């Protein structure tokens, strides 16, 4: 997401579909405001989704507009906050997220460049509280922070675990405000030797020389780059010339726009510098590589990233390969440089707060060679989350990235802003580690009171809770009646309940803006009740008429396999995506013959190949009672696409593009409903199967081990009993292969390599001959007394679910590893 600066400033939101291109989402409700250059991106409601705040102007003056992430990629305007009194006509120069009061909620520091009557500005703090959100504005620091302020930066510079406050100033000296137990003190001249007025436009902090202390880098008109080295106690020395940064100069004496993006771009363990200098006389980019923490060298031309030069730059891992990429933007233009090192010389740490803020802001992260924790001689990097952010319209990831040696292992210490320390030992390179401040029941208990209080005080929520409770009571009674009278099984019962609940929530969403209390609260409840009442009536009719029609399970199977074919047939989804892109860009291309030819070709493919599949999915969905409104919406969208006319296309392009989106969303909803019944938890299945075979392994003196490398609980797309049969067969084969082996060992490993989930079943048995690695999967093939159908059956079952089984490796010395490859499923 970016707040993009141009003559007509706007807000752009792009979804990363890697390896597919980014998809752009435009929000029409932003166009009613004049968007200014300042923005901040952070989780202000502690729901683990990034929200954002922007500065906008309207006829009433300057406001901060808060947009809340609903967790589905949509942003809802939460509230508008008028800026106080004298600054009603002055725009904030910078917004900086900070947990100012340490309560676990991110507050917002607002930097004013101008004050009253064009005098120097100051800093105010918007305090975020659980009861009142950003309802309190703290102006008590106006006098302390007065100046032509361009940016604030918060971090612990003197190692006392209290946040200090650096303020970049345009016409006066920068300020170093140190926090102690009594409050904040301006110690600028004490902390920085020979402090000068440098006309600073921005500031950032990181540990450039891996000594465990945050150094300060400023960007200014007078000196361009200035690096202040921290002695560990919060006292700074200008080392710009010593590290060669004095040789880097701007193209103009007055910097119009410039931006810094700090990161270890070459994964050598030291933080490098990227600068976008959009000077009026000579604009260019700089990539300055940090050589061992001793000096910097300019590698811009070698990396061929001198241009384009745009207003802002962000360092982030766009393709999630561990190498830091660069995104630059401005004037409604974007430039993305992908880093293709791909050497796995990295470790990424993502702190997730529970007591402290969920973004992990302010968390300190140290990385050491394994076995040398807290030994600074082996310190390989240090970050404080949020300290590296530069400028006024950009936020990088709230994540600590370290370039390291892929051949070594490392210990990591994370100290959350709330004070809790977490240590990870013997970490492998090439991984991203998500570190929770608290986990399990402790995290839940800590979050629950605040979340409950925040929700229950809303009157609308109270009404919704009552109607929801009544709805669930009705559903429970309806299901109990069906179980008792018509002998429903669990799957069928869950299907009816899921459908009713889906309808209920869908209606809640559709009626949330209704002014009628009946429509808003009672209609969804009545419809959901009908969703369980109607099946009871239908089963009553079926029971009385003893219908022998086709079973729902059989229809569900057909629907499931239709969805599998559609999802794994890349041509189908590719056709929908192509049509959507063509519809979105038809304006201005209606007279382009090649464009229209491409559109006709995609439409022909849709009608001839995709449409029959969609109709089959619709018919099967209707047969088993999938959400009727969902199916109707899907039908309407399909009809719109299949019947559009080229000459009408330009005027209806937005509706046609939305119809494609509706088709994809509807298929996703159907798939989610169906996949639940064809998914299982692989870890649970492995445990159950191993428990069942425990006696067999004990009798044969076999050591069995299980390893789960899934970061979060994930389901796999296969029924539990089918997966259990496959695992059982593999384990039985391992027992036979170990018959003449000493020190018998069998291991099962579960891990994920997106988008697949893998099960490795390994033994140290006699191995499999090279020419038999495929023969063993043939029907009837066996060298022993078995039927020879086990592995053949396993492969056929997995094919149904888009999975497979194969011999990963086998030798007489190393034994055999069977790999089961599965698609990710959906757990209940």
pLDDT along the chain (828 residues), means of 10: 51 73 62 64 88 80 85 81 68 89 91 75 89 84 90 94 92 91 92 86 94 94 90 94 90 76 95 88 90 95 88 89 89 85 90 92 96 95 93 79 95 95 96 92 75 64 86 89 76 86 87 82 88 85 57 82 76 83 83 85 85 85 84 88 77 85 89 89 93 91 91 90 92 88 91 92 88 84 74 90 91 89 89
Record the pTM. 0.57
Q: Are 323 and 341 in contact (CB under 8 A)?
A: yes
CATH of 681-825, one of 3.40.50.10310, 3.90.230.10, 3.30.70.20, 3.30.565.10: 3.30.565.10
Task: Categorise residue 199: left if φ over 0, alpha if ψ from -120 to 50, beta otherwise.
Answer: left
- Distances 517 to 472, 501, 521 between C-alpha atoms, Å: 20, 20, 6
Q: Identify whether the C-beta of residue 730 lies closer than 8 Å to the C-beta of residue 715.
A: no
Phi-psi region of 808 (alpha: psi -120 to 50; beta: other; left: phi over 0): alpha
Q: Say if CB 414 and CB 371 are below 8 A apart.
A: no
Residue 548: what pLDDT? 45
Residue ranges of the chain that CATH labels 2.130.10.10: 2-352
Taking the alpha carbons of 429, 431, 432, 433 in that order, is the dihedral positive or negative?
negative
CA distance 798 to 823: 10
pLDDT number for residue 251: 65
**pLDDT in the model for residue 479:** 87
How many Å apart are CA 299 and CA 439, to the nearest integer? 44
Judge contact between 56 and 118, C-beta under 8 A: no
Half-sphere exposure of 19 (CA within 13 A, CB side): 3
The alpha carbon dihedral of 22, 25, 26, 29 has a sign of negative
Q: What is the DSSP string of 515-566?
A: S-HIIIIIHHHHHHHHHHHHHHHHHHHHHHHT-----HHHHHHHHHHHHHHH
What one-character DSSP code corresponds to residue 610? I
Location of each CATH 3.30.565.10 domain in the chain: 681-825
> Is the CATH number 2.130.10.10 carried by domain 2-352?
yes
């Amino acid at each position: 997401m970016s707040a993009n600066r141009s003559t007509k400033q706007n807000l752009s939101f792009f979804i990363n579909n890697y390896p597919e291109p980014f998809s752009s989402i435009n929000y029409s409700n932003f166009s009613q405001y004049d968007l200014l250059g300042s923005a901040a991106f952070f989780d202000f409601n502690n729901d683990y989704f990034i929200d954002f705040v922007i500065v906008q102007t309207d006829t009433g003056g300057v406001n901060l507009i808060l947009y809340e992430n609903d967790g589905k990629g949509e942003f809802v305007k939460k509230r508008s906050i008028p800026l106080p009194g004298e600054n009603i006509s002055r725009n904030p120069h910078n917004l900086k997220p900070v947990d100012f009061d340490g309560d676990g909620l991110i507050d917002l520091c607002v930097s004013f460049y101008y004050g009253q009557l064009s005098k120097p500005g100051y800093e105010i703090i918007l305090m975020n509280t659980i009861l009142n959100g950003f309802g309190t504005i703290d102006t008590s620091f106006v006098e302390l922070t007065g100046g032509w302020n361009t940016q604030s930066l918060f971090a612990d510079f003197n190692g006392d675990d209290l946040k200090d406050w650096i303020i970049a100033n345009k016409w006066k000296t920068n300020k170093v405000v140190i926090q102690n137990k009594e409050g904040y003190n301006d110690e600028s001249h004490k902390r920085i030797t020979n402090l000068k007025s440098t006309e600073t436009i921005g500031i950032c902090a990181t540990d450039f020389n891996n000594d465990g202390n945050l150094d300060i880098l400023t960007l200014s008109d007078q000196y361009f780059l200035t690096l202040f080295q921290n002695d560990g106690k919060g006292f700074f020395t200008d080392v710009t010339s010593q590290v060669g940064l004095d040789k880097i100069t701007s193209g103009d004496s007055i910097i119009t726009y410039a931006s810094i993006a700090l990161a270890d771009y070459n994964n050598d363990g030291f933080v490098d510098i990227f600068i976008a200098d959009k000077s009026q006389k000579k604009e260019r980019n700089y990539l300055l590589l940090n050589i061992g923490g001793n000096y910097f060298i300019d590698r811009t031309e070698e990396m061929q990233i001198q241009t384009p030069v745009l207003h802002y730059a962000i360092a982030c891992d766009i393709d999630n390969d561990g190498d830091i990429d660069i995104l630059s933007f401005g004037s409604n233009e974007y430039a993305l440089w992908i880093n293709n090192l791909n050497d796995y010389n990295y470790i990424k740490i993502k702190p997730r707060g529970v007591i402290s803020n969920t973004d992990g802001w302010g968390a300190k992260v140290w990385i050491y060679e394994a076995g040398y924790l807290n030994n600074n001689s082996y310190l390989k990097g240090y970050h404080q989350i949020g300290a590296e952010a530069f400028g006024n319209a950009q936020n990088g990831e709230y994540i600590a990235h370290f370039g390291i040696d892929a051949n070594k292992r490392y210990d990591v210490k994370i100290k959350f802003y709330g004070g809790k320390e977490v240590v990870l030992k013997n970490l492998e390179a090439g991984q991203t580690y998500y570190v929770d401040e608290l986990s399990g029941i402790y995290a839940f208990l800590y979050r629950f009171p605040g979340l409950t209080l925040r929700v229950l005080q809303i009157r609308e929520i109270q009404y919704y809770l009552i109607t929801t409770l009544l709805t669930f009571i009705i559903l429970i009674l309806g299901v109990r009646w069906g179980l008792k009278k018509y002998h429903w099984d669990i799957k069928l019962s869950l299907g009816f309940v899921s459908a009713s609940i889906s309808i209920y929530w869908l209606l809640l969403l559709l009626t949330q803006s209704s002014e009628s209390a009946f429509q808003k609260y009672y209609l969804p409840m009545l419809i959901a009740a009908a969703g369980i009442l109607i099946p009871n009536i239908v089963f009553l009719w079926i029971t009385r008429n003893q219908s022998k029609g086709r079973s729902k399970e059989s229809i569900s199977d057909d629907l499931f396999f239709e969805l599998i074919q559609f999802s794994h047939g890349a041509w189908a989804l590719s056709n929908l995506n192509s049509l959507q892109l063509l519809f979105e860009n038809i304006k201005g291309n209606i007279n382009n013959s090649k464009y229209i030819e491409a559109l006709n070709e995609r439409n022909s493919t849709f009608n001839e190949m995709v449409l029959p599949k969609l109709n089959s999915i619709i018919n099967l969905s209707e047969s088993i009672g999938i959400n009727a409104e969902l199916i109707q919406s899907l039908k309407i969208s399909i009809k719109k696409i299949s019947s559009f006319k080229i000459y009408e296309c330009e005027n209806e392009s937005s509706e046609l593009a939305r119809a494609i989106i509706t088709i994809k969303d509807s298929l996703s909803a159907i798939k989610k409903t169906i996949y639940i019944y064809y998914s299982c938890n692989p870890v649970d299945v492995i445990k159950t199967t191993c428990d069942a075979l425990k006696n067999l392994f004990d009798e044969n003196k076999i050591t069995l081990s299980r390893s789960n490398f899934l970061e979060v609980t994930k389901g796999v797309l296969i029924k539990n009993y089918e997966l259990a049969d496959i695992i059982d067969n593999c384990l039985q084969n391992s027992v036979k292969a170990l018959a003449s082996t000493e020190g018998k060992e069998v291991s099962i490993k579960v891990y994920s390599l997106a988008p697949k989930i893998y099960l490795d079943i390994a033994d140290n048995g006699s191995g499999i001959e090279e020419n038999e690695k495929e023969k063993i999967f043939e029907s009837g093939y066996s060298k022993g007394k078995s039927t020879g159908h086990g592995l053949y059956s396993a492969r056929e079952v997995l094919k149904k679910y888009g999975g497979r089984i194969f011999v990963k490796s086998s030798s007489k010395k190393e034994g055999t590893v069977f790999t089961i490859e599965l698609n990710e499923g959906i757990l209940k």
